[in-house]
């Protein structure tokens, strides 16, 4: 459970701000269920939590998104009120988590799983189980991100102070710095496309392979390094001077980046 300390904090904060007089049981924590009151107007109730990683991971530009879930067991004494009050409590509880989120956790739509009476010790409690999927974001190292993406050999995250590059720029390395590439005599020529700008000092370069660039603006077909505008690509094949076929636009959002070297056809 140590890896879920942040989730525990988020859940505790949500409940403390929106729920009252309910004891929470965490696995591995000493806990004694409350005694039944026998008072229909003030039934005893308690919650138990399980946090689980369902081992589904997706990559975002510089985060790993793990799909997890909270399983909440809600227990209430049978006090002659039937299921109506319990359902109201469950709806309130589900509403606390519905669309709740922080900078690292986003809770998805909760749903009820099959319920049944539960025996705790010598006592029988009404029991309902709520499942709350959530997305957990982890800030990880560059190497971990690329390994999880399966792209460690085709993408690289580059840190360079005030790089000045934008997404879709062709970029080249010259004299130890990354610059907008250009197909003129001085270069630099393209080493890849800027696929993500993380911040003013960090960007991701795709050197080869398919990359998603939303609404990149190019027509489908071959893209060449521009001879006059640094960082730009053109669909018009140059007939003289330096030619470098940098990429091919597959559709409105995807591009294949190539490893073609520049050639002077003057």
Domain positions in the chain:
2-138, 142-264
Task: Tell me if residue 205 falls in helix, strand or coil.
Answer: strand
Predicted confidence (pLDDT) per residue in 239-263, tens digit: 999 999 999 999 998 999 998 999 9
User: How far apart are alpha carbons 165 and 186 in whole angstroms?
Assistant: 19
Neighbours of 262 (CB within 10 A): 19
What's the confidence (pLDDT) of residue 56? 59
Tell me the pLDDT band of 9, cut-offs 50, 70 and 90.
confident
Kindly report the pTM of this predicted structure. Answer: 0.49
Q: Is the pLDDT of residue 16 over 70?
A: yes
What's the confidence (pLDDT) of residue 1? 33
Rounded to an integer, the average pLDDT of 95-105 is 80
Q: What are phi and psi of 113, to 5 degrees?
A: -100, 165
What's the confidence (pLDDT) of residue 60? 55
Higher pLDDT, 181 or 61: 181
Judging by beta carbons within 10 Å of its beta carbon (0-12, 13-18, 19+), is residue 17 exposed, middle or buried?
A: exposed
Phi-psi region of 231 (alpha: psi -120 to 50; beta: other; left: phi over 0): left
The secondary structure of 40-65, three-state, reads CCCCCEEEEEEEEEEEEEEEECCEEE
What's the confidence (pLDDT) of residue 2? 38
User: How far apart are alpha carbons 26 and 70 in whole angstroms?
Assistant: 12
What's the confidence (pLDDT) of residue 3? 53
User: What percentage of the chain exceeds 90 in pLDDT?
Assistant: 30
Predicted confidence (pLDDT) per residue in 152-193, tens digit: 557 788 889 999 999 999 999 999 999 999 999 889 999 999
Q: Which fold has domain 2-138?
A: STM4215-like (3.30.2000)
User: How far apart are alpha carbons 249 and 74 in whole angstroms?
Assistant: 53
What's the confidence (pLDDT) of residue 163? 96
What's the confidence (pLDDT) of residue 83? 59
Higher pLDDT, 158 or 117: 158
Q: Which fold has domain 142-264?
A: Virus Head Decoration Protein; Chain: A, (2.40.300)
Torsion of CA 73, 76, 77, 82, to 10 degrees: -120
Give every CB contact of residue 153 below 8 A, 6+ residues apart in sequence: none
What's the confidence (pLDDT) of residue 37? 83
User: How far apart are alpha carbons 89 and 85 in whole angstroms?
Assistant: 6
Q: Give the closest residue to 184 by CA, choosing from 124, 105, 238.
A: 238
User: How far apart are alpha carbons 45 and 86 in whole angstroms?
Assistant: 10
Predicted confidence (pLDDT) per residue in 68-83, tens digit: 888 888 888 876 655 5
Higher pLDDT, 190 or 117: 190
Q: Is the pLDDT of residue 89 over 80?
A: yes
């Amino acid at each position: 459970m140590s890896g879920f300390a942040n989730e525990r904090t988020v859940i505790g904060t949500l409940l403390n701000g929106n729920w009252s007089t309910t004891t929470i049981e965490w696995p591995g924590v000493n806990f004694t269920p409350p005694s039944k009151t026998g008072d229909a107007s003030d039934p005893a109730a308690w919650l138990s939590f399980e946090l689980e990683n369902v081992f589904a991971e997706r990559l975002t530009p510089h985060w790993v998104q793990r799909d997890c879930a909270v399983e909440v067991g809600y227990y209430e004494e049978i006090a002659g009120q039937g299921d109506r009050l319990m359902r109201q409590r469950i709806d309130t509880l589900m509403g606390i988590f519905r669309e709740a989120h922080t900078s690292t956790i986003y809770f998805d739509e909760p749903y009820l799983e099959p319920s049944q009476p539960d025996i705790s010790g010598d006592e029988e409690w009404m029991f309902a189980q709520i499942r709350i999927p959530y997305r957990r974001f982890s800030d990880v190292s560059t190497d971990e991100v690329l390994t999880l993406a399966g792209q460690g050999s085709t993408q690289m995250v580059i840190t360079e102070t005030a790089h000045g590059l934008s997404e879709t720029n062709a970029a080249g390395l010259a004299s130890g710095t990354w610059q907008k590439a250009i197909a003129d005599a001085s270069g630099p020529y393209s080493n890849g496309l800027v696929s993500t700008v993380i911040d003013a000092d960090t960007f991701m370069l795709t050197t080869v392979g398919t990359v998603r660039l939303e609404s990149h603006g190019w027509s489908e077909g071959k893209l060449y390094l521009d001879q006059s505008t640094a960082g730009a690509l053109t669909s018009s094949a140059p007939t003289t001077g330096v030619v470098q076929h940098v990429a091919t636009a597959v559709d409105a959002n995807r591009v294949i980046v190539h490893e073609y070297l520049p050639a002077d056809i003057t």
